[in-house]
Structure 1
Amino acid sequence: MPSRLPMNNEACPVARSVDLIGDRWSLLIVRDAFDGVRRFGDFQRSLGVARNILSDRLRKLVDAGILETQDASDGTAYQEYVLTGEGESLFPVVVALRQWGEQHLFERGERHSVLVDKRTGKPIPFMAPTARDGTTLLPAATEVRKVI
């Protein structure tokens, strides 16, 4: 079965983003990188993913400039994967998915992890798109304008 064609010529930023990071493993690799995972073996243990799939996704994330490799921080011969500035800018995406999951995928009182502000120890506030005046924007208050 042929792989699907990349959407690099697609005018929709959502389609291009999903094409690059929209599969389960890529997003979970990025999530783990935010949690401090840096080595291949640690990603594999955390995710339980096959080595060939992990290797492929890491290569794609490096090629896309989301992760970069560097020498291991402990001086060993290992390579580590670290988020680039572009990769770190995915933080709101990961937080939005986390918060949606917290709202819709857990029963009331069911235990789950919580993202907290290190300074206060308190859960971070719910993220929502806002207008320039600070009011929350609902979907009906926005529109996508197609490029010509």
Structure 2
Amino acid sequence: MGFFEMNKRNYDGYEPCPVARTVGVVGDRWSLLIVRDAFDGLRRFSEFQRSLGVARNILTDRLRRLVDAGILATQPGSNGGAHQEYVLTEQGKSLFPVVVALRQWGERHLFEQGEPHSELVEKDTGKPLHFMAPQAEDGRLLSPDEAEVRKLP
């Protein structure tokens, strides 16, 4: 059974929830922090390990899982050495809004007023990104009460 087949299943068998499947792929602390660091330009095993302070065996496992899931790809080191590098695939890059949403939630709820923290800004202007929120097709911001999940029968 391949990576995606295993992640399509919950304890009862088939898992029809996209949130549950996504969490099965990137829902642990280390996987998300690796993806965050990849967005910040880290590429080598030693860079991830230095940034995260994670044990080698855990980092090896999470990198393998992210490669198997198609979120990261390996390529020869850019310096021509024997080391391989990990780069975000297009699928991995599409996790950017997820990482931004987690960051923005953390900024709003996990820091005291005025407490310093890193900031995500637009490169060209240096201005912070607008808060991300679900929108209706006409552009209106939606609250949780204005959306619903249509469950399978």
Choose from 64, 69, 75 the match for 1:64: 69
The aligned residue for residue 114 of structure 1 is 119
The aligned residue for residue 98 of structure 2 is 93
Shift of 1:146: 1.2
TM-score of the superposed pair, with normalisation by structure 2? 0.92
SS for the counterpart of 2:97 is: helix
The aligned residue for residue 126 of structure 1 is 131
Distance 2:92 2:138 in 1: 29
Shift of 1:7: 4.3
The aligned residue for residue 78 of structure 2 is 73
The aligned residue for residue 11 of structure 1 is 16
Matched to 2:76, the amino acid is D
| Structure 2 unpaired stretches of 5+ | 1-5, 9-13
Map 1:127-146; keep pairs closer than 5 Å.
127-146=132-151
RMSD: 0.8
Instruction: Find runs of 4+ consecutive structure 1 residues off by over 3 angstroms.
Output: none
Shift of 1:116: 0.3
Q: Does 1:33 align with 2:38?
A: yes
Q: How many residues align?
A: 143
User: Sequence identity, in percent?
Assistant: 71
Distance 1:135 1:25 in 2: 35
